Structure 1
Amino acid sequence: MLTVLVVDDQVLIRAGLAALIRAAPDLDVVGEAASGEEAVRLAARTRPDVILMDIRMPGMDGIAATERILAAPGPSKPKVLILTTFDLDEYVYNALRAGASGFLLKETTPQRLLAAIHTVAGGDTLLAPAATRRLIEAFLPVRDPAPDAGGPARTPDPLTGREAEVLVLVGRAMSNKEIADHLVVSESTVKTHLNRAMAKLGLSSRAQAVAYAYEHGLVTPGILDS
């Protein structure tokens, strides 16, 4: 059974989400938090599989709470699913950059919400790679390409050449299957390289890996690869 922590400062929304989740046979609510500070405390105490996180809350917001929760020591990290009223804004980008596994609008259907919990719990990003790329390009400051931008990307120090190559392709909005076809390897090999790269770089989600590739010049915003 998957365990869920619900975080929202509006009591009716929080109670409604918790009731919906408790009604599902394979989900259990282990806590409800009305603020980012409370979310951090409850996450440490209950260690949920998934956290439904509101962004705009008094005091510590959902972005800061996500950063604190995912930075906490422990053998496993929860998956953070952002719930927001605002579509594709800088708050969502910052949450993905902080390590959230995806986002949903609060107007989503109950069935979609329950499916999303299972999606992120399974390690997948809820946001499609191409949509992640558009989101990041919209809010990442435009930077000048590196002098050797036309050549191979520089390998970040902790990574092997193949791990860096996979990271670049993830940044270019390619799925694991597309990367596997491009490199002529299996999808499981791609997942292994990506997981190792993310572990070495301290990244906790695919969306965060895309943001890293952009921010470190491995992929240039606004320039599509031929």
Structure 2
Amino acid sequence: MSLFAQAWAWLTAPEQWTGAGALPVRVGEHLLYTLVALALATLVAVPVGYAVGHTGRGRQLAVGLAGAARALPSLGVLTVLTLAVGVGRAGLAATAVLVVLAIPPVLAGAYAGVENVDGAVTESARALGMTPWQVLTRVEAPLGLPLLIGGVRSAALQIIATAVLAAYVGLGGLGVYIQRGIALRRYEEMLGGAIAIVALALVADALFALLARVAVRLSGTERRLVPTVTT
């Protein structure tokens, strides 16, 4: 039997779908880390990205910080933070690492979305008497939504992949199967866990792709948007 066949047999075995360490439980843990980190990163990065894109100030600093955050070794930072805050608060350390990882793509999507709005559209909005805040929230942000969603999509996929590291500090998630498979040389379990992570990433990517299409339809008619916001 090939390794992929063994992995499939492991994935479909009844014991993998019941109990405290079952696949649905591990998927739920993985999703929880992903959603919490993505929400926190969005709360931090979107206002900063909008401010940078709208004013044009601090762009180089934002790009530099985003690049530096991407270069950080996730496992090393997770280990240091876990030791710093204590093993009992490893969840806080893991969340911080995932948030730092997610901020750069969300930040880039936010300021690029605002920055790439046609200048003629924003000038028309200002000519109609809109305040800078109205221009940002009612014109630039809606038109830049597809790029923002693209940034959030990239961040989500990176978090799903990196949340595997949570298992190394005892926090569960789908990384448990990879860690245990390596330690016990259960290669079918390791491959099965990897397949589950890839499947989760593909589902998330498909959902964000659908959301991006909806955003493009909602933001695609600039001519209709400006009169609407001035009524």
TM-score, normalized by length of structure 1? 0.24
Quick one: higher RCO (CA 8 Å, sep 6+), 1 or 2?
A: 2
Q: Which has the higher helix share?
A: 2
Normalised to the residue count of structure 2, the TM-score between the two structures is 0.23
